[in-house]
């Protein structure tokens, strides 16, 4: 009985039975109460610590439910043996994730201009959706996503990208990270995939996580080298034809046709990631590869990450009919990974024309920022040259300076600048002058020239295109 001597606090917000339960549990875990030890009866313990018998019953019931003690008929309550691993103290606690470092100038290409988001319009549509009249949205929806959103996406794709599809062909999901693994699952016969080099690192990681073999296919000023697919025995290919990431090149019309012919000849598929297609600043809009496809060999993939916000986590893919049947068979017991309230809010946002207005406004905003950046870098030529300035939210800086890429990156970080090196996107190493991606979307128009000047200063590049090193 001495082992259970304790003072319960009747003034505590923690119920008395829970205090008693915690005390006994700690005694068992600490081995103060050893395996096989008999606990006092409910009546004796309640009298001893001056609480009701119900309090003891509730505490014992919780200990029984969790497997700390057992009840032996006509004998009483006994401490059960505990697994060593369970009761042992953790001498190696899990370390928290390191905090993201803050920078004075964040030039990563994944950033957007958050100050321009139409919060009021989005809030209005959200309030219209989140009402008692829409309580049915609390239930699970269709695995492909709600029809109202798929209809809006189909309409938008037809008018903006020339994509021919019905809402039934569209699969809504929480971004490329969720959709691409599902898509790879639908292509079991594709043993070797071709992916662009350089390319988006997440794409490579997703293929690796799915244990799918891939071969890097080089990219030049006209896009993917389609002629490399045949010698490499590629079964399916992943491309970003409208705005290749990260080079910004456009897949030429002749190569698009050769790529479509290759897919038809081999009866395989092209995965078209329509990355950054919304933001083009010169020339006519580039039609999607899917719009040129007459034989249902293209799988179209896109998201709202750049056009609206990365945290929205809504993407979609357009499946050819033959793959749609396979998808419905394999995923019929799954649910859509995007919350239905967000789906309907986005559908309302698109149906009322707010999405199109937002895109038009952002095209003008990003075009102005691009012009400011290009003008700011002009005096530093030829030590710095710019490419990829016709579309997207970043440009490529080619640097002629007596430093390695690693050294330049360290110099930038020391100056409070976060900038991504081009070589980080290559699978096969390249021997070339240092190149960097300058993301201009997140910084204000007033700050952009300051960021350019700070970057040039930390790299010791002066106006007139010379390096002081």
| Helix axes of 16-29 and 53-65: crossing angle, nearest 10 degrees | 50
Asked whether 293 and 164 are in contact (CB, 8 A), the reply is no
Within this chain, do residues 200 and 340 fall inside the same structural domain, yes or no?
Answer: yes
pLDDT at 261: 97
Is the backbone of residue 300 left (phi > 0), alpha (psi -120 to 50) or beta? beta
Residue 108 included in any domain: no
pLDDT at 277: 87
Within this chain, do residues 316 and 186 fall inside the same structural domain, yes or no?
Answer: yes
Within this chain, do residues 182 and 311 fall inside the same structural domain, yes or no?
Answer: yes
Instruction: Look at residues 352, 378, 412 and tell me which one is the last residue of a structural domain.
Output: 352
Within this chain, do residues 313 and 433 fall inside the same structural domain, yes or no?
Answer: no
Q: What are the residues whose beta carbons fall under 8 Å from the beta carbon of 45, sequence distance 6 or more?
A: 4, 39, 56
- Ranges in the chain, pLDDT < 70: 1-5, 84-91, 465-469
Asked whether 349 and 119 are in contact (CB, 8 A), the reply is no
Return the residue matching tokens 């920078």: 103
Within this chain, do residues 192 and 296 fall inside the same structural domain, yes or no?
Answer: yes
Within this chain, do residues 344 and 375 fall inside the same structural domain, yes or no?
Answer: no
What tokens does 383 get?
């030590």
Residue 252 included in any domain: yes
What tokens does 244 get?
């290749």
Range of the domain at 56: 2-87
State phi, psi for 46 to the nearest 5 degrees: -65, -40
Asked whether 441 and 393 are in contact (CB, 8 A), the reply is yes
Q: How far apart are CA 208 and CA 206, in angstroms?
A: 5
What tokens does 318 get?
């357009």
Q: How far apart are CA 34 and CA 205, in angstroms?
A: 50
Alpha carbon dihedral 38, 40, 42, 44, in 10-degree steps, equals 160
Within this chain, do residues 148 and 279 fall inside the same structural domain, yes or no?
Answer: yes
Q: How far apart are CA 260 and CA 270, in angstroms?
A: 8
Other CB atoms within 10 Å distance of the CB of residue 169: 21
CB neighbour class for 301 (10 Å; exposed up to 12, middle 13-18, buried from 19): buried
Residue 304 included in any domain: yes
Within this chain, do residues 187 and 336 fall inside the same structural domain, yes or no?
Answer: yes
Q: What are the residues whose beta carbons fall under 8 Å from the beta carbon of 272, sequence distance 6 or more?
A: 239, 240, 241, 288, 289, 290, 298, 299, 300, 301
Residue 300 included in any domain: yes
pLDDT at 467: 67
Helix and strand element counts for the chain (H, E): 15, 19
Strand order in the sheet with 420-421: 384-387, 394-399, 435-439, 420-421
pLDDT at 87: 47
Residue 99 included in any domain: no
Within this chain, do residues 314 and 436 fall inside the same structural domain, yes or no?
Answer: no
Q: How far apart are CA 231 and CA 244, in angstroms?
A: 22
* Domain count along the chain: 3
Within this chain, do residues 275 and 402 fall inside the same structural domain, yes or no?
Answer: no
Residue 105 included in any domain: no
Within this chain, do residues 167 and 307 fall inside the same structural domain, yes or no?
Answer: yes
Residue 390 included in any domain: yes
Within this chain, do residues 346 and 362 fall inside the same structural domain, yes or no?
Answer: no
Collapsing DSSP to helix, strand or coil, 83 comes out as coil
pLDDT at 5: 64
Instruction: Look at residues 329, 352, 375 and tell me which one is the last residue of a structural domain.
Output: 352
171 forms beta bridges with 317
Q: How far apart are CA 195 and CA 239, in angstroms?
A: 7
pLDDT at 1: 46
CATH of the domain at 412: 3.90.1150.10
What does 154-206 look like in DSSP terms, one character per residue?
A: HHHHHHHH-----GGGEEEESSHHHHHHHHHHT-TT--EEEEEES--HHHHHH
Residue 318 included in any domain: yes
Kindly calculate the radius of gyration of the chain based on its CA atoms and give it in whole angstroms: 30
Which tens digits make up the pLDDT trace of 289-348?
999 999 999 999 999 999 999 999 999 999 999 999 999 999 999 999 999 999 999 999
């Amino acid at each position: 009985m001495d082992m259970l001597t304790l003072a319960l606090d009747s003034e505590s917000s923690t119920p008395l039975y829970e205090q008693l339960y915690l005390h006994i549990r700690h005694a068992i875990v600490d081995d103060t109460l050893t395996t096989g030890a008999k606990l006092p009866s409910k009546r004796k313990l309640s009298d001893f610590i001056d609480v009701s018998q119900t309090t003891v019953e509730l505490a014992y019931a919780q200990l029984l439910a969790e497997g700390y003690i057992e009840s032996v008929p006509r004998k009483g309550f006994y401490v059960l043996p505990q697994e060593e691993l369970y009761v042992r103290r953790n001498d190696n606690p899990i370390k928290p994730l390191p905090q993201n470092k803050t920078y004075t100038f964040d030039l990563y290409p994944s950033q957007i201009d958050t100050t321009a988001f139409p919060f009021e319009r989005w809030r209005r549509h959200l309030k219209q959706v989140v009402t008692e009249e829409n309580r049915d949205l609390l239930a699970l929806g269709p695995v492909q996503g709600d029809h109202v959103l798929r209809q809006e996406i189909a309409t938008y794709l037809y008018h903006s990208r020339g994509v021919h599809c019905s809402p039934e062909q569209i699969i809504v999901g929480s971004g490329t990270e969720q959709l691409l693994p599902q898509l790879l699952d639908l292509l079991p016969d594709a043993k070797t995939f071709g992916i662009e080099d350089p390319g988006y690192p997440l794409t490579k990681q997703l293929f690796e996580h799915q244990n799918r073999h891939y071969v890097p296919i080089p990219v030049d000023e006209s896009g993917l080298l389609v002629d490399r697919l045949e010698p490499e025995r590629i079964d399916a290919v992943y491309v970003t034809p409208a705005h290749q990431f990260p080079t910004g090149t456009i897949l030429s019309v002749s190569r698009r046709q050769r790529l479509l012919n290759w897919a038809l000849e081999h009866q395989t598929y092209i995965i078209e990631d329509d990355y950054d297609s919304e933001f083009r600043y010169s020339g006519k809009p580039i039609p999607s590869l899917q719009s040129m496809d007459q034989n249902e060999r293209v799988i179209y993939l896109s998201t709202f990450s750049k056009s609206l916000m990365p945290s929205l986590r809504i993407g979609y893919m357009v499946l050819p009919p033959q793959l749609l049947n396979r998808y419905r068979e394999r995923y019929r017991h799954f649910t859509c990974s995007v919350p239905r309230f967000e789906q309907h809010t986005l559908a309302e946002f698109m149906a009322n024309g707010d999405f199109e207005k937002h895109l038009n406004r952002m095209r003008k905003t990003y075009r102005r920022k691009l012009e400011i950046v290009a003008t700011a870098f002009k005096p530093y030529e030829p030590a710095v040259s710019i490419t990829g300035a016709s579309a997207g939210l970043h440009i490529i800086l080619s640097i002629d300076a007596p430093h390695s890429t690693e050294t330049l990156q360290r110099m930038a970080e020391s100056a409070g600048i976060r900038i991504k090196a081009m070589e980080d996107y290559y699978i096969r190493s390249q021997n070339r002058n240092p190149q960097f991606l300058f993301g201009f979307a997140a910084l204000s128009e007033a700050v952009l020239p300051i960021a350019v000047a700070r970057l040039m200063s930390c790299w010791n590049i002066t106006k007139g295109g010379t390096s002081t090193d």
